[in-house]
């Protein structure tokens, strides 16, 4: 069995809505391993986004235990969480979140420049990342002149540029056509093996389930089951 990089046990999260309490997470248990692509699936409102927000340190939780890359995240201060995310976690979003005024290479380099990396070094690493997602020839092109699939690949390069160990993808294919979605998922699958990262993909898109190493099914704030996928893609 591969090394465990995330261990969550009995995680609960409650939101207050006026006088009512909403139990968003109700005793979540999940382990994630090195070089694994795990899909988190389930109906809208079942707690998927809340859960990945917790394990990526964006959201606190009431009860339970969550260890990410050997760190008990509930014992971190807000400052420590920010630093931990910046070094160890990459994010890929449904809406790409690229800055329209910047070229592809500048968008990819942005996390490094924000972290204080020398500009030339940041651009060189961004260039390498664009090459790894097969967009080296689009380095100087701005997002509005790229297809949706190309924009998502730029976003993936940006998520990888600081060499995180964990990447969280929130609906990465839902705004793409079928072919572009398949290309993006093939790339994400390849990245987990070649870049030695673990990946959590939150999705409603059953067309991409086959790319998972394992699939966790959520409903009403709980994980009902976790299935392994034996399909080769």
pLDDT tens for residues 157-183?
A: 999 999 899 999 998 888 888 888 898
Could you give the CA distance from residue 233 to residue 223 in angstroms, rounded to a whole number?
25
Domain presence at residue 71: yes
**Whole-angstrom Cα distance, residue 62 to residue 49?**
16
Structure confidence by residue, pLDDT tens digits, 47-102: 999 999 999 999 999 899 999 999 999 899 999 999 999 889 999 888 888 999 99
Domain count of the fold of the chain: 1
**Do residues 13 and 22 lie in contact, with contact meaning Cβ atoms separated by under 8 Å?**
no
Per residue in 88-144, pLDDT (tens digit) is: 999 988 888 899 999 999 999 998 988 888 999 999 999 999 998 989 999 999 999
Does any domain span residue 134?
yes
Pairing of strands 198-203, 37-41: parallel
- What's the CATH code of the domain at 29? 3.40.50.300
Question: In DSSP terms, which residues pair with 226 in a beta bridge?
Answer: 216
pTM for this entry: 0.88
Mean pLDDT for 1-30 is 88
Domain presence at residue 21: yes
Torsional sign, CA 115, 117, 122, 125: negative
- Has residue 233 been placed in a domain? no
Contacts of 223 by beta carbon, 8 Å cutoff, 6+ apart: 28, 29, 30, 216, 217
Answer whether residue 140 is part of any domain. Answer: yes
Assess if residue 169 is contained within a domain: yes
The reply to whether 129 falls in a domain is yes
Contact 63, 12 (CB under 8 A): yes
User: 42: domain range?
Assistant: 4-228
Residue 199 domain-assigned (yes or no)? yes
Please state whether beta strands 63-68 and 214-219 pair in parallel, antiparallel, or not at all (unpaired): unpaired
């Amino acid at each position: 069995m591969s090394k465990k990089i995330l261990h969550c046990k009995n995680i609960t999260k409650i939101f207050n809505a006026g006088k009512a309490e909403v139990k968003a997470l109700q005793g979540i248990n999940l382990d994630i391993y090195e070089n694994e692509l795990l899909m988190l699936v389930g109906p809208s409102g079942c707690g998927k986004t809340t859960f990945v927000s917790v394990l990526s340190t964006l959201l606190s939780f009431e009860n339970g235990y969550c260890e990410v890359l050997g760190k008990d995240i509930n014992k971190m201060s807000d400052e420590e969480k920010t630093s931990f995310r910046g070094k160890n976690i990459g994010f890929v979003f449904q809406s790409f979140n690229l800055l329209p005024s910047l070229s592809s290479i500048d968008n990819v380099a942005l996390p490094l420049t924000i972290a204080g990396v020398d500009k030339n070094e940041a651009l060189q690493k961004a260039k390498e990342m664009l090459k790894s997602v097969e967009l080296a020839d689009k380095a100087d092109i701005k997002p509005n002149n790229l297809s949706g699939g190309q924009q998502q690949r730029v976003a993936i390069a940006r998520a990888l540029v600081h060499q995180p160990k964990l990447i969280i993808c929130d609906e990465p294919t839902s705004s793409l056509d079928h072919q572009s979605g398949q290309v993006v998922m093939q790339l994400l699958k390849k990245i987990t093996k070649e870049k030695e990262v673990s990946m959590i993909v939150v999705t409603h898109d059953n067309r991409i389930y086959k790319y998972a190493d394992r699939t966790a099914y959520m409903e009403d704030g709980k994980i009902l089951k976790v299935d392994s996928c034996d399909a080769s893609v």
